[in-house]
Amino acid sequence: MFNISTYLDKILKKIDSGEHTIHNVAGVIEKYTHITIPHGEIQIRNNIAYISSSVHVKNKIFLYKEKIIQELEPYSISDVR
C-alpha cells in the first residue's frame, strides 16, 4: 500500500535542499560582490543559478564569476547567469 506521508517527506527534503542551495548561492555572491540579492531573484534549473536582477548586479557577478563558481561546486552549481 502507498504511504502518502513517506512520499511527502521525500518532497519536503528536496524542497528544503533547494532553498538551502539558493541561500548558499546568495551568500557566496554577497561575499564577493558585497551586494545582497533577495532569494526570490535566484532560480536554480539544471545546476545553473539564474539571477533575475539589474544589469549592474549581473555585471558585478560576471567580474567574480570564476571565484563564485569555484565556491559553489560542492552544491552542484556549474554556472551563474
Q: What pLDDT does residue 38 have?
A: 93
What amino acid is encoded at 50 in this protein?
Y
Q: Which residue type does 36 have?
A: T
Domain extent listing, the chain: 4-80
Looking at residue 51, the DSSP 8-state letter turns out to be E
Global confidence as pTM: 0.75
Q: Are 47 and 76 in contact (CB under 8 A)?
A: yes
* pLDDT reported for residue 26: 94
Question: What order do you get walking across the sheet with 48-51 strand by strand?
Answer: 42-45, 48-51, 79-80
* Whole-angstrom distance, CA of residue 22 vs CA of residue 16: 10
Expressed in angstroms, the distance from the first to the final Cα of the chain is 44
pLDDT (tens digit per residue) in 6-46: 776 666 666 555 778 899 999 999 999 999 999 899 998 88
